Amino acid sequence: MEQPVTVAIIEDHPVVTEGVASWIRSDPGRRVRLVQTARELTGLHAMPREPADVVILDLELSGELVTGEIPGLVAAGYRVVAFSGHSDPAIVMETLDNGAHAYVSKEEGRDHLVEAVLAAAADRPYVTRSQARAILADERPARPALSEQERQALLLWFQGMSKASVGRRMSISENTVRQYISRARAKYAATGRTAPSKDALLARAIEDGVIKPGEIVPYRSFARAGPGRSHPPGHPGPLNDPGHPSPPDLPPQR
């Protein structure tokens, strides 16, 4: 049996917190385990007995929107599922642009919240009706085209770099890279053009001109391993040798 996904709830209304906890407890597969609740974000930073994989975040705490706190949570390694009564498309899009994996309205919670948490933990896209409506209603230029950060992360990933290496290259966390990829998938799914696999996502990006076919070339290290020099960890043979191509997640040295 797989380990359950651990989750923290940040919600300032105890009745709502108990409702979410009851949905988690009633999941037949016991796929999610609640490890922490807090009424404000500072409560999340108190060291819990067990860290949370996913944070269910109410977007309004003590009367103030906390969408601006989402990037910090993502950078700290949390995957964020927003759970809110707000339905304004601008707030939904701000939430997603700031790094939330999914947006679940409180009207949709009973049917979708647990599944959205599981999708976030597995880095799978999950698009609710409220999220899809916001994406489709977004009138900013070039939607559902990708942001430059999303495009750059996808390009490096398509070129063969691991998510960890993409993060190092872009000076962001691996979890942020995962968020960029998930958001790209969600944007395509919201328009009816799903991209569940890496190949499908690449096809969508090329179709839309976001990525040019000529850009999909693997990165290779320019370093050569001469006699007596050690190879990178896990590399079986000489770098740039035709029989032992450089691992794709090594960025070029400058």
> Does the structural domain 148-215 have CATH classification 2.160.20?
no
* Residue 10, pLDDT score: 96
Pick the more confident residue, 1 or 6: 6
Q: Structure pTM? A: 0.62
The domain locations on the chain are 5-137, 148-215
Quote the percentage of the chain above a pLDDT of 90. Answer: 37
Q: What is the pLDDT of residue 163?
A: 92
Architecture category of domain 5-137 in CATH: 3-Layer(aba) Sandwich (3.40)
- The pLDDT, as a whole number, for residue 160 is 87
Q: Using 50, 70 and 90 to split pLDDT, how confident is the model at 227?
A: very low
Give the model confidence (pLDDT) of 88-129 as tens digits.
888 998 888 788 888 999 999 888 999 999 988 987 778 888
Higher pLDDT, 16 or 210: 16
Q: What is the pLDDT of residues 33-91, one digit of tens each?
A: 999 999 999 888 665 668 899 999 999 999 999 999 998 898 888 999 999 998 888 89
Pairwise CA distance, residues 231 & 212, whole Å: 32
